């Protein structure tokens, strides 16, 4: 929670609850997921508060906005370079260490200076794999 202390916005109880929910969260929640959780404690909180808080956190580099789920944006408080495994059935997203690098041929990168990369691997999580035939 300390890492969020200097983000440059007023830390209201509602925003602190949002930050507390995100701190160490590995579920890659959507804004709606954050709202559903935090509104249990703060029933008068608006979804707009969640969106505006997430927008500030994204701008400050405190969360990553993931667009790997075509149905909704998801947020990742783990901002270090890493990759994602995505279940095609339940949409679960799992962090994968960034040790795996992709080598791109020079004819493709054409003198680009690559500073970071992100790999998305799609498949079926163990729970979904049991219920479907692949």
Q: Are residues 64 and 86 in the same domain?
A: no
pLDDT at 70: 79
More confident residue, 94 or 109: 94
Q: Are residues 95 and 113 in the same domain?
A: yes
pLDDT for residue 134 is more than 70: no
pLDDT for residue 2 is more than 60: no
Q: State how far Cα 36 lies from the chain centre.
A: 16
Q: Are residues 53 and 109 in the same domain?
A: no
Q: State how far Cα 49 lies from the chain centre.
A: 18
Domain that holds residue 89: 80-131
Q: Are residues 6 and 61 in the same domain?
A: yes
pLDDT for residue 94 is more than 90: yes
At 15-56, the pLDDT tens digits run 999 999 999 999 999 999 999 999 999 999 999 999 999 999
Distance linking the first and last C-alpha atoms of the chain: 41
Q: Are residues 127 and 111 in the same domain?
A: yes
Average pLDDT, the chain: 87
At 62-79, the pLDDT tens digits run 999 998 877 889 999 999
Q: Are residues 37 and 71 in the same domain?
A: yes
pLDDT at 3: 57
CATH number for the domain harbouring residue 34: 1.10.10.10
Residue showing tokens 């960034």: 98
Q: Are residues 46 and 66 in the same domain?
A: yes
CATH number for the domain harbouring residue 115: 3.30.1490.190
Q: Are residues 85 and 69 in the same domain?
A: no
Q: State how far Cα 19 lies from the chain centre.
A: 13
Q: Are residues 10 and 57 in the same domain?
A: yes
Which among 75, 100, 121 is the end of a domain?
75
pLDDT at 117: 79
User: How many domains is the chain built from?
Assistant: 2
Q: Give the span between the Cα atoms of 122 and 49, in whole angstroms.
A: 32
């Amino acid at each position: 929670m300390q890492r969020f202390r200097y983000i440059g916005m007023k830390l209201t109880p509602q925003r602190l609850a949002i930050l507390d929910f995100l701190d160490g969260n590995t579920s890659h929640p959507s804004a709606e997921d954050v709202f559903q959780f935090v509104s249990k404690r703060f029933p008068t909180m608006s979804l707009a508060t969640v969106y505006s808080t997430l927008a500030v956190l994204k701008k400050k580099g405190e969360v990553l906005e993931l667009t790997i789920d075509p149905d909704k944006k998801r947020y990742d408080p783990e901002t270090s370079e890493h990759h994602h495994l995505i279940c095609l059935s339940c949409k679960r997203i799992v962090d994968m260490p960034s040790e795996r690098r992709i080598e791109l041929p020079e004819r493709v990168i054409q003198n680009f200076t690559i500073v970071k990369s992100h790999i998305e691997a799609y498949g079926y999580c163990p729970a979904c794999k049991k219920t479907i035939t692949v």
